[in-house]
């Protein structure tokens, strides 16, 4: 089996932004509609259908045939008459039914918790995270924010306390990118206050609090949208969960063998022909975000939660890429779904599917493999040598 090795892979990996995608026509129309008729909040509703609110209770008109007894009744099951004016709180379309963001727990001994208006990332004492002091947590936080492309606006002198500069987020506390704009997601331009400290029993944590938020459409048009406490909790918890995801990613990147990267053909957990990368899932997934553009493949959609890329190979020129010379990426034109999976618990698998979500035949993957492995190795090299920025508490 042919294998490609990469010498001296750097331990620090930075994430490149996805190439900017042109907004589709339907997204543009939706933005214009909301601009003139108000922001669409239908995603906060159960179904969007409220015909039941006009329902009335009528007298029982059940006709019982002669010779049969009337069915039994239970007064406890009678629907009481309720005066809508006596009810307090939001009703119907005004009810936000979106679930709160669930707290995340990492197998490294880290978890999130919502307490008194702050989302806190706790470092458990028996965890494998290696964070033992305020300085450890502070330096880790600085690195994580840099990795998430969130700038630091102000650091409180003599304290482990900082305020971020404004940054666009999705409604789940994830940093907003070009892919989110392409599908028309709303922007939430927000500022967070973050502090490192301990609770009464000495446990160490990183606490995040949302202190400013402005809502706009994907087009940039500002909209009126006051966030209630439930929404503030959802944003802050999402932000804290993303801190843990970044910590997980950094930890797994450090576990990659710095002397060799092996890319080979094999079978994924579904027994489909796949390209196997002997590097952690988080690292490989981050590398792919900048890889497809260099291949000349257009990213149509990207799902972070599913590790799924929808790409399009548009013409014959897209089959070529220039990496230390001209090398052929032997793949047919068309649309593909590319999934990244965990292989044998510590490695990664990259599986190609056609537009109908059927796996690509083995012989086609075998043709693609040599050139794709070359490009993947070169992309790992291009990420090497990144410098971490040290942010100190004064």
What backbone torsions phi and psi does residue 123 show, to the nearest 5 degrees?
-100, 105
Is 323 a residue whose pLDDT tops 50? no
Is 1 a residue whose pLDDT tops 60? no
Report H helices in 177-228. Answer: 178-182
Regarding predicted confidence, which is higher, 247 or 8?
A: 247
Quick one: pLDDT band at residue 46, thresholds 50, 70, 90?
low
16-20, 150-154, 195-199, 371-375: which range is least confident on average?
A: 16-20
* Dist CA 211 CA 116 (whole Å): 14
User: In the chain, pLDDT over 70 holds for what percent of residues?
Assistant: 76
Mapping DSSP to helix (H, G, I), strand (E, B) and coil, where does residue 305 land? coil
Q: H or E stretch including 327?
A: strand 326-328
Residues in a beta bridge with 112 = 121
8 Å CB contact between 236 and 120: no
Which pTM was predicted?
0.51
pLDDT 10s digits, 96-106: 777 677 888 88
8 Å CB contact between 167 and 240: no
Is 168 a residue whose pLDDT tops 90? yes
Regarding predicted confidence, which is higher, 387 or 139?
A: 139
Radius of gyration for the chain, computed over Cα atoms and rounded to the nearest angstrom = 26
Regarding predicted confidence, which is higher, 118 or 223?
A: 118
Q: Which of 40, 54, 46 is nearest to 95 (CA)?
A: 46
pLDDT 10s digits, 53-69: 677 767 767 788 888 88
pLDDT 10s digits, 235-246: 899 889 888 887
Quick one: pLDDT band at residue 353, thresholds 50, 70, 90?
very high
For residue 332, what are its two tokens? 């047919």
The per-residue pLDDT for 8 is: 32
Describe the crossing of helices 362-382 and 281-295 by its angle, rounded to 10 degrees: 100
The DSSP secondary-structure symbol of 227 reads -
Quick one: pLDDT band at residue 234, thresholds 50, 70, 90?
confident
The per-residue pLDDT for 18 is: 34
pLDDT 10s digits, 171-208: 777 889 888 888 888 899 999 999 999 998 889 999 99
* Dist CA 19 CA 166 (whole Å): 22
8 Å CB contact between 188 and 169: yes
Is 23 a residue whose pLDDT tops 60? no
DSSP string spanning 271-297? S-EEEEESS-HHHHHHHHHHHHHHHT-
346's torsion region: left (phi>0), alpha (psi -120 to 50) or beta?
alpha
Is 259 a residue whose pLDDT tops 90? no
Residues in a beta bridge with 190 = 167, 213
Mapping DSSP to helix (H, G, I), strand (E, B) and coil, where does residue 334 land? strand
Is 118 a residue whose pLDDT tops 90? yes
Average pLDDT, the chain: 77
For residue 260, what are its two tokens? 């060799």
The per-residue pLDDT for 292 is: 84
């Amino acid at each position: 089996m042919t294998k490609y090795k990469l010498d001296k892979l750097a331990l620090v990996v930075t994430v490149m932004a996805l190439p900017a995608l042109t907004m589709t026509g339907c997204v543009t129309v939706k933005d214009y509609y909301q601009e003139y008729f108000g922001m669409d909040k239908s995603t906060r509703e159960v179904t969007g259908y409220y015909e039941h609110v006009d329902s009335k209770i009528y007298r029982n008109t059940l006709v019982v045939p002669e010779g049969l007894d009337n069915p039994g009744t239970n007064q406890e099951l009678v629907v009481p008459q309720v005066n809508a004016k006596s009810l307090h709180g939001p009703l119907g379309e005004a009810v936000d039914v979106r679930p709160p963001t669930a707290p995340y727990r990492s197998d490294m001994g880290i978890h999130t918790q919502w307490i008194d208006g702050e989302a806190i990332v706790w470092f458990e004492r028996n965890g494998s995270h290696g964070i033992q002091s305020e300085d450890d947590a502070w330096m880790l936080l600085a690195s994580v924010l840099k990795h998430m492309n969130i700038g630091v606006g102000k650091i409180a002198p003599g304290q482990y306390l900082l305020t971020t500069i404004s940054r666009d987020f999705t409604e789940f506390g994830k940093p907003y990118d070009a892919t989110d704009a392409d599908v028309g997601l709303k922007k939430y331009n927000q500022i967070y206050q973050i502090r490192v400290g301990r609770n009464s029993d000495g446990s160490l944590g990183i606490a995040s609090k949302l202190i400013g938020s402005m809502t706009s459409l994907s087009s940039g048009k500002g909209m009126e949208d006051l966030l209630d406490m439930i929404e503030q909790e959802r944003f802050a918890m999402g932000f804290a969960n993303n801190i843990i995801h970044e910590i997980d990613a950094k930890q797994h990147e450090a576990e990659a063998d710095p002397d060799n990267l092996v890319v080979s053909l094999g079978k994924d957990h579904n027994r489909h022909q796949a390209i196997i990368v002997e590097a952690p899932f988080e690292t490989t997934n981050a590398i792919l975000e900048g890889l497809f553009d260099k291949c000349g493949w257009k990213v149509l959609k990207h799902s972070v939660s599913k590790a799924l890329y929808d790409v399009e190979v548009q013409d014959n020129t897209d089959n070529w890429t220039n990496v230390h010379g001209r090398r052929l990426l032997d793949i047919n034109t068309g649309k593909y779904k590319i999934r990244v999976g965990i292989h044998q618990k510590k490695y990664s698998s990259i599986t190609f599917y056609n537009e109908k979500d059927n796996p690509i035949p083995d012989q086609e993957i075998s043709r693609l493999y040599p050139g794709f492995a070359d490009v993947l190795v070169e992309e790992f090299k291009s990420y090497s040598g990144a410098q971490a920025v040290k942010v100190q508490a004064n």
